[in-house]
Amino acid sequence: MLFLAALPLGLILLQSAQVVSSTDALTLLSEVGQRYADAKSYQIEAVEEETTSGELLRDWHKTFMTAIVMPGGRYRYEGRFFGGAAVLISDGVRQWDYLPERNAYTQVPVLSEEAEKKHVHQQDELAAMNARSIVTRLAHLASGLKSAELMPDEVISIGGKSVACFLLRGALCRQ
């Protein structure tokens, strides 16, 4: 199974345009992952597209996510996908869960990590919960790959803006 990751060029400056070996590409991903793991504040916007196909099945879906985290437990996670949309906002003391398609929101005290694990989320909130886990997924991206290679640079469009990226193709580890 192949995996493609598009990472902004500004994230890490490559020292040369040489062909990067699989080990070097995995090292690069590990270094990027460590930067995400160490981040105390960040703003990440992501679009995930997934296509599944087989002899009797073909499926495609797209998810839009935003994760903004600031010191003091303040955050804003947004997600939109085929199952609904949600915005989760916290000022460090309270959390507001807004479901725009239902025109509804709730306000609760910020939950502890243990209480959050037990909290049942509505389907609308799933993409926002994925936005919440973006940094964790990026931090551990390299650990799920058997190998990786650097591909030619590409320019992609995100929110109507052109972003220069380098691409990595990786082989996932079998579970």
Query: Per-residue pLDDT tens for 5-40?
Result: 444 433 333 333 344 455 588 888 888 888 888 899
DSSP assignments along 27-88, one per residue:
HHHHHHHHHHHH-SSEEEEEEEEEEEE-SS-EEEEEEEEEEEEETTTEEEEEEEETTEEEEE
CB 170 within 8 A of CB 13: no
Dihedral over alpha carbons 164, 42, 147, 64 (to 10 degrees): -70
Report how far Cα 152 is from the mean position of its chain's Cα atoms: 22
- Answer with the residue of higher pLDDT: 119 or 69: 69
CB 128 within 8 A of CB 79: yes
51 pLDDT above the threshold of 80:
yes
Query: Per-residue pLDDT tens for 84-136?
Result: 999 999 999 999 999 999 999 989 898 777 767 676 677 888 899 889 988 98
Average pLDDT over the chain, rounded to an integer: 81
Angle among Cα 51, 27, 11 to the nearest 5 degrees reads 70
Count of Cβ atoms closer than 10 Å to residue 102 Cβ: 12
